[in-house]
Amino acid sequence: MLNIDALQQLKSLKKNIEDSKETAQGIVKGSNNRFGFVTLKDGKDIYLSPDEMLKVFPGDEVEIEVQQDSKNKSFGLIEKMIKSELNRFAGKYVIKGNAHFAEVDVPGMSRWIFIPTNKRNKAKEHDFIECKIIQHPFHNGKPQAEVLNVIGDINKPGIERDYVISKHQLESDWDTNSLQQTNSLSEQSLIEQQEGRQDLRDLPFVTIDAASTTDMDDALFVETTDSGWTLKVAIADPTAIIPAGSALENTALRRMTTSYFPDEPLAMLPESISTQLCSILPKVDRLALICEIEIDKQGATGDYKLYEATIHSRAKLSYEEVAAFLETPTDAHVLKVDSNVADILETLSSLTSTLKQWRTDNALVSDDQPDYRLRLNEHHKIAKIDVLEQNAAHTLVGECMIAANRCAADFLNSHSAGGLFVTHAGIRKERQNNVLDVAKTLWADETPENLSEKDNYVALVRLAQQSAQVQTDAPTDNIIPIRTIIARQHERSLFSTVAKPHFGMGLDAYTTFTSPLRKGNDFYVHRLIKKIINAEPTNVLNDNDLEQLQERALRARRAVNEMEQWLKCQYIEPMKGQTLEATVVRMTSAGFQVKLSENGIEGFVSTKAMPVKYSFDPNIMTLTSKSKDQFKLDQVVSVMLDNIDWKRKQIQFTVAAKAEPVESPQAEALTEKS
């Protein structure tokens, strides 16, 4: 036996060893291979070997011991499991020999998880399944899962939608309390809320939206004044009949948005509210939050008021109907509306042209981009893809909504200690010097410095816009696509509780409140505005609340994008062997992303399989061979379908024809400089 002195020495030695260890905490990040990393709080990545990765899942928060290998490179050994975020997941049921597994569909996860015999829930091989973790791998490297739900197999109609809803954990059913609350609401509920509101039912408001839209958030009215116009933007008011803190409000803020899946939207609010009681339908009384704005003849917004009202929309018109009328106003009879509505449309057209010109001169206006709508057949597969071009009616509605949202942002900033703003920080910090190098080659001393400042960013974009206008008639091979280069380096827009600049719009502050039937942040801003109007106390979102709202909105968007991408993979598969026209939309050192001209489907062209090597220029974002063949942003190329990575839902193209050299004098100068 060891005596007391020896035990004390052993304890002391053990403590010294522990104290000498370099430990750190961070989040596990997986890779496409078996190894991984732990991202520390300072952003540094520490390598985890495949053996260490067997102990953890991507997203786990862990404590590691940091050691050095023989080449003095850092690697981590898992010491402690702090927290695991992975509880539920979706995947595919696989069988290998007598063992049954879940092939996990989680970013960075490249392993199967064993499913015990009594936890299989009658799942069959290749079924898509929803599971929960019942044993974490930290102690023995052998995780286990239980099948909670069999979603279906690949032949089930609509499996794509069902699967992504499960994978991204979107709510698809209404809880009992929300249903009871919804069922208690009726037209009488609207009548009861009319007291104390301004009565604007005599004004000929008009709603303009897509022909198929039933959840209509807004209606417009305008009249001319001696100094310009008075615009009234009426926004649907679901917060009038949904009490604060109620089950329905909590559900709306959890869902955060209406997810517009191609076949059937997953609504943020029950249909009886979003498409009936609160939708601004024509020929019925509806509750609204009004933003009334004075606008001068130069398009500058002046005084504004926000207040509650009751309106009576005269008509619901489609974008196409309004655009056709604006092109030929003498054909007003085709709209089947009275002369008052026709006059309103003409006045709105004049107003919104002026509003857009003001933004062009004083802020930033983005180029209109075509949208693409997937039309599904009875089997829930793509029948065709429609290209939706923006027209004059889209511009009309868009400018009115932007004007109202600007006023809402100013209102929150002036009257509340905290709000919910939409911010955008412009070009990513790590890419600003690259963009400046390109800009200085084009414009020398005119180039603004410090792109972290909104006004400098705006000045840069205006230079790019002016340059593009001047170069319209120049050969495309001689143009550096600076506007696209800038756009590809942007930060993602974020929510904020304080007013911050929106670089992309060139505004000092911005929020959105014009879609409260479809967007949770707009619903929240409605609630906040009305509390201020009614002199009620307001709450300020904390960082965790803000992060959750942001993540819920992103999760819903990812689900829709994933379903659409899955369907697009199926749709394009029969096109193998066809030559397709596409435009280069993104560049990396490994290749470039293209968008097909006909249907907007995107895919990647890898340079690895090309017969010659290409070097990547991160400034002008080009790939160039020794023979000066080059690929660059906005270039039109011919491609062919090469392969589909079904696990990642990625489409891979090859170039169908040799690209012509597109080297420009400015690009040559930048290449020599770098």
- Tens digit of pLDDT for each residue in 304-335? 999 999 999 999 999 999 999 998 876 655 66
Confidence of residue 15 (pLDDT cuts 50, 70, 90): low
pLDDT at 71 over 60: yes
Q: H or E element: which one contains 93?
A: strand 88-96
Cβ neighbours, 10 Å, residue 521: 23
Cβ neighbour number for residue 518 with a 10 Å cutoff: 21
The three state secondary structure string of 25-72 is EEEEECCCCCCEEEEECCCCEEEECHHHHCCCCCCCEEEEEEEECCCC
Instruction: Give the model confidence (pLDDT) of 394-433 as tens digits.
Output: 999 999 999 999 999 999 999 977 899 999 999 999 999 9
The predicted model gives 611-616 an average pLDDT of: 93
Q: How wide is the angle at C-alpha 55 spanned by C-alphas 60 and 103, nearest 5°?
A: 80
pLDDT for the residue 19? 56
Judge if pTM exceeds 0.85: yes
Residue type, 440: K
Residue pair 79/52 in contact by the 8 Å Cβ criterion: no
Q: Scanning the structure block, which residue is given the tokens 């004007």?
A: 403
**603 Cβ contact partners less than 8 Å away, ≥ 6 residues apart:** 572, 593, 594, 596, 639, 641, 650, 651, 652, 653
Nearest Cα to Cα of residue 584 among 532, 661, 638: 638
- Domains in the chain (CATH in brackets) are 21-83 (2.40.50.140), 88-156 (2.40.50.640), 199-421+508-563 (no CATH), 569-673 (2.40.50.140)
**pLDDT tier at 674 (50, 70, 90 boundaries)?**
very low
- pLDDT for the residue 473: 52
Instruction: Name the CA dihedral angle for 638, 641, 647, 648, rounded to a multiple of 10 degrees.
Output: 10
Instruction: Using the Cα atoms of residue 460, residue 461, residue 464 and residue 465 in order, give the sign of their dihedral.
Output: negative
pLDDT at 4 over 80: no
Torsions phi, psi for 145 (to 5 deg): -135, 160
Backbone angles phi, psi at 35, to 5 degrees: -80, 175
Whether 611 contacts 601, CB under 8 Å: no
Average pLDDT over residues 110-127: 96
H-helix or E-strand spanning residue 74: strand 74-83
How crowded is residue 558: how many other Cβ atoms within 10 Å of its Cβ? 15
Q: How confident is the model at residue 110 (pLDDT cuts 50, 70, 90)?
A: confident
